[in-house]
Amino acid sequence: MRACGAWVWTRGLGGHVKRGRLIVFEGLDGCGKSTQLRRVAEALRERGLDPVVTREPTDGAWGRRIREMAQSGRAVAPETELAWFFEDRREHMRDVVRPALEAGRLVLSDRSYLSTVAYQGARGLDAAKILADSEAEFERPDCVLLFVIPAREGLARVAARGGVAEPVFENLEFLERVEAIFEGLDLPGLVRIDGRRSEDAIAAEVLAVVLGQLDGLHEAMP
């Protein structure tokens, strides 16, 4: 396992220093990231911490539009899909993530821009450009936990989970292309987690990584 980098960087014209921590949970549909995010948030609350828990696509207007499209089974043009995810993220960063980080909070996000790199890259768009554009515009996570599971197993879990199907994204051939892009990612702060193990074994590893990220968080606050 590669350790997350303890990134602190400046952004904006004023050279404003980011104070909170952003940890993103990524992976294929059914990889178990939402289960693990919930569990680690509970474990942190038991320790008296108060993480901000959030997700993309969001529950805002753009996120709802994306989910409706995904559930309808009628895909839009890849460029349109890409634009919707960017709009959703723009609002999410502005309204939720950035204010929380500026207040020194720990933010746990179910997906962020590496999903766009992998999923919209798998639609045939330029993954490297999506990554570069995203890094130029959005908050970079301090750490990304990438839950690794074969596409076929993830899909089987999604089917067993039930709930509303999203056929635009949940099909094997497409998810295998997404998997290949995730596999090729090599970025600072990216930690791969074997998602095929028991929930408990994974939860122990996730908690250790997240606690490691909190070192110095409070010292950094005003």
Contact set with ligand ADP (CB under 6 A): 27, 29-35, 157, 160-161, 198-199, 202
H-assigned helices in the chain: 33-46, 61-72, 78-92, 98-102, 113-115, 121-122, 127-137, 151-161, 172-184, 199-213
Q: Report if residue 26 touches ligand TYD, rule: CB under 6 A.
A: no
- β-pairing, 106-110 with 52-55? parallel
- Whether the CB-CB separation of 6 and 215 falls below 8 Å is answered with yes
Calpha distance 149→153 (Å, rounded): 7
Residue 115 binds: one of ligand ADP, ligand TYD, none (C-beta under 5 to 8 A by kind) = ligand TYD
| Contact string 79-98 vs ligand TYD (x = CB under 6 A) | ------x-------------
**Nearest approach, Cβ of residue 13 and ligand TYD (Å):** 28
167 Cβ neighbours under 8 A, 6+ residues apart: 70, 71, 73
Q: Quick one: what does residue 169 bind among ligand ADP, ligand TYD, none, with the CB cut-off 5 to 8 Å set by partner type?
A: ligand TYD
Q: Is 166 helix (H, G, I), strand (E, B) or coil?
A: coil
25 counts as binding ligand TYD under rule CB under 6 A: no
Residue 10's identity, in one-letter code, is T
27 pairs with which residues across the strands? 147
Residue closer to ligand ADP, measured from CB, 98 or 170 = 170
Q: 189 touches which of ligand ADP, ligand TYD, none (CB within 5 to 8 A by kind)?
A: none
As measured in angstroms, the least distance from the Cβ of 105 to ligand ADP is 22
Q: Interface with ligand TYD includes 54 (CB under 6 A)? A: no
For 55, phi then psi, to 5°, come to: -155, 160
70 binds ligand TYD (CB under 6 A): yes
Q: How far is the CB of 201 from ligand ADP (least distance, A)?
A: 8
Select from 218, 192, 195, 210 the least CA-distant residue to 40: 210
Task: Report the residue number, 18 or 33, with the smaller CB distance to ligand ADP.
Answer: 33
Stretch that binds ligand TYD, among 42-50, 115-123, 131-139, 213-221 (CB under 6 A): 115-123
Cα–Cα dist 182/149, whole Å: 11
Residues binding ligand TYD (CB under 6 A): 29, 34, 56-57, 70, 85, 111, 115-116, 119-120, 166, 169
